[in-house]
Amino acid sequence: MHKSVNFDYFGLSDIGMVRSRNEDFWQVNLTSQVVAIADGMGGHLGGDVASHEAIINLMEMIDAQQPQLVRFQDDQYRKTVRDILSKVNELIYDHSLMESHLRGMGTTLSCMQFLASKAWVFHVGDSRIYRLREEEFCCLTEDHSLANRLKHRYGLSQQLDKLYPYRHILTNVLGSRPHVVPDIRDITYEEKDLFLFCSDGLTNMVSDRDMRDILLSSSSLEESGNLLISLANSRGGVDNVTIVLVRIQ
């Protein structure tokens, strides 16, 4: 029998100060112990549809495969998750072709599944997952953005990155093309580890240092989450802001 992992969580999604609609979505699945966040985009109403479809379909497919996933070797796990994400991508893409107002829709998707001995991270886009272990705060995902690609390929500096007008263009999203290539990796977790899942509405407004300081100084997950979103909004709140905090017990 699969041993469950004990964790506390808190999630919150805010429309921000500028947008007229919230296209972010998040969900925690306690049955399969999966946490997911998505930031939708494109089409007249497509972003909202894409982010919801991505997470709801993902959770249903993982639940259906859960008895096998917990027993799989690493290669089998990766292949199964890759197949699941390919199917989720196909469903969103096909839906966008059927309705003109959804054309071009897509979404980021960043997820973790906690198993007894490790956790798996699977990720498309620029919604991030961070881990705070004691005082060490690190990002577990790599943005699939044009700026990040140029940074790796040509050494684009962080200062130029902020000035580059197309830095937020995504090179990899779910649902906007017939095929998707997700990042899939396994990580360790320990008791008291704190994981932060967030959309770019947070990371574009709040530095990693400020995030770390808030997480270290807050007395609860709820306090941390509310402070992070309040800070993003106080600095302009130009996008929807979504956070999910998970603490291992």
How far CA 116 is from CA of 6, 49, 111, 136, 172, in Å, comes to: 10, 33, 17, 23, 30
Segment 174-226, tens digit of pLDDT? 999 999 999 999 999 999 999 999 999 999 999 999 999 999 999 999 999 99
Q: CA-to-CA distance for 248 and 4, rounded, in angstroms?
A: 11
Q: How far is the C-alpha of 150 from the C-alpha of 161, rounded, in Å? A: 9
Q: Distance of CA 94 to CAs 83, 85, 97, 181, 234, Å?
A: 16, 14, 5, 17, 39
Spell out the domain ranges in the chain: 7-248
Torsion angle, alpha carbons of 36, 11, 137, 219, to 10: -160
pLDDT string in tens for the chain (249-residue length): 467 899 999 999 999 999 999 999 999 999 999 999 999 998 677 999 999 999 999 999 999 999 999 999 999 999 999 999 999 999 999 999 999 999 999 999 999 999 999 999 999 999 999 999 999 999 999 999 887 777 767 666 665 555 556 667 899 999 999 999 999 999 999 999 999 999 999 999 999 999 999 999 999 999 999 999 999 999 999 999 999 999 999
What tokens does 25 get? 């979505």
Please name the residue that has the structure tokens 């296209």. Answer: 23
* Helix 221-234 and helix 208-217, axial crossing angle in degrees, nearest 10: 150
Q: Cβ distance 110 to 180 under 8 Å? A: no
The CATH label, of 3.90.1260.10, 3.40.50.2300, 1.10.20.10, 3.60.40.10, for the domain at 7-248 is 3.60.40.10
Name the average pLDDT for the chain. 94
Closest C-alpha to 41, from 133, 104, 87: 104
Residue carrying the six token digits 């093309």 = 177
Triad 133, 138, 142: Cα angle to 5°: 145
DSSP 105-172: -EE-EEEEEE-SS-EEEEEESS-EEEEEETTEEEE-S---BHHHHHHHHH---HHHHHH-TTTT-BS-
Pick from 91, 119, 106: nearest CA to 33: 119
Q: Name the region of 91 (left: φ>0; alpha: ψ -120 to 50; beta: rest).
A: alpha
Q: Which residues pair with 142 in a beta bridge?
A: none
State the pTM of this model: 0.94
Give dist(CA 103, CA 96) in Å, integer: 5
